Chains A and B, each alone.
Chain A
Amino acid sequence: MIEIENAHKSFGNLEVLKGINLNVEKGEVVTIIGGSGSGKSTLLTCINGLEPINAGRIRIDGTEVHAKTTDLNKLRQRVGIVFQQWNAFPHLTVLENVMLAPRKVLGLSRDKAEEIAVKQLTHVGLHEKLSVYPNRMSGGQQQRMAIARALAMSPEYMLFDEVTSALDPMLVGEVLDTLKMLAEEGMTMICVTHEMAFARDVSDRVAFFHQGVMAEIGAPDEIFGSPRKPETQEFLGSVR
């Protein structure tokens, strides 16, 4: 369970998160929507401990993320994250990209790591690309590889940060299908996204962020069907 309590985050004078409260249960899929600069991507990097928070607390299965005593490297093995820019490691093949962390971080043998990597790459439909270098693939394929790379660490939670925003429109579908599949398999996920149809389809709950505040949260039907806050109505009106 991910528990976020009154999380505050500032970059210099700019306050991007103004006290976020959110609990995500095991097996739940929560999507976060909102305009740019609403703080939704920042929240994900804070959950993963890539950015420190200024106040409040974030706990994952009871472990405080930003406590000094927490081993973030250990924690991140349980919480996978995929970014808007897929950040493929260009010097490694697709298979090696996925094998690297299981071997070096989990200390698995080459054979075991390869077995896991092949399984995950097959899962996202890249089993024919194992020995290809990432820059020979489309953005959609690279993004799916990044997802497999995160899954190979067998995380219990997955964070997706606008994973389709940098893709050509034609390639968005294949990545969303991969996310849908994960959701159906019961993965606990927090997705920041601009794809409203996707959010409506897969989410258990949808959160709307506005200027660093979680303005509204509820079932997809409530948020998309009868939003209560005027900001939400305005935002949804503008993206439709």
Chain B
Amino acid sequence: MFNYTFHWNQALRALPQMLDGALVTLQVAVLSMVIGLACAIALTGFRLSGSRILSGIAAVWVEVARNTPALFQIYMAHFGLGNFGIHLSPYAALLAGIAFNNAGYLAENFRGALKAIPETQTRAGRSLGMNSLQAFRFIVLPQMLRVAYLPATNQMVWAILMTSLGVTVGMNTDLAGVTQELNARSFRTFEFFAIAAVIYYFIAKAVTLAARALAWRMFRY
């Protein structure tokens, strides 16, 4: 049944190239998270602003991010913006798509975290003479961060996995892109992609463990 010879040596020789690709993957993921966090904070502000237009924008953003495929969002950035004469490079389109997706999920996460802190906490702060900003800054926010932290780290892992979608819009510098190029030249599909899978696995695990270690240091209560 298996008269196929695996050529691991050939694939392993390409490991340095693939690891370089992994760095690009990590870079895109981190950048998309930073942009996504900034947008999510803004969206949360929009939702709380009381303005119908702003909260409408936030609602559309969050619903589209959560109810359409991430790949669709990347296609939108890559092909859709062409209608406005904006032609993003694969890198920019990938980054924009994932950042958009991150922002939607994180904004929803923030909303849940905000709801999870009881009103009585604010009240206790106010009763000590704090103004509402102080009560939010010193009492609600730190507790909110803890609630939001774990889902946010999950989103980071998602962001790493989503970067692999770049290959579908012609990205060739990240791990999936590099692997696909190697594959196109050698047709050693299984070997190359198996190694890529192992690298993705270790990145995902490393990020999860690092996040857990950080949480352990940050949230002592």
Contact = CB atoms under 8 A, between A and B. Distances in A.
Given A100-B138, A104-B138, A90 B143 contact: yes
A73 B127 contact: no
A73 to B, nearest CB: 5
A100 B126 CA distance: 12
Interface residues of B, number: 20
B146 interface: yes
B128 A149 contact: yes
A153 B138 CA distance: 17
Interface stretch (B33-41, B56-64, B129-137, B200-208): B129-137
B123 interface: yes
Contacts of A100: 128, 138-139
B221 A91 contact: yes
Interface in B164-179: none
B143 A81 contact: no
A76 B120 contact: no
B129 A91 contact: no
Interface string A184-198: 000000000000000
B121 interface: yes
Contacts of A73: 126, 129-131
Interface in A176-213: none
Chain A CB within 10 A, most for which of B120, B121, B128? B128
A87 B123 contact: yes
A224 interface: no
Interface string A142-161: 00001001100100000000
A101 B126 contact: no
B124 A76 contact: no
Contacts of B146: 91
Contacts of A63: none
Pairs of residues from A and B, 7 with the lowest C-beta to C-beta distance, nearest first: A87-B124, A101-B128, A133-B221, A77-B129, A76-B129, A105-B129, A91-B142
30 contacts: A50-B126, A73-B129, A73-B131, A76-B127, A76-B128, A76-B129, A77-B128, A77-B129, A80-B127, A83-B123, A85-B120, A87-B121, A87-B123, A89-B121, A89-B139, A91-B142, A91-B143, A91-B146, A91-B219, A92-B221, A100-B128, A101-B129, A104-B134, A105-B134, A133-B220, A146-B124, A149-B128, A150-B127, A150-B128, A153-B129
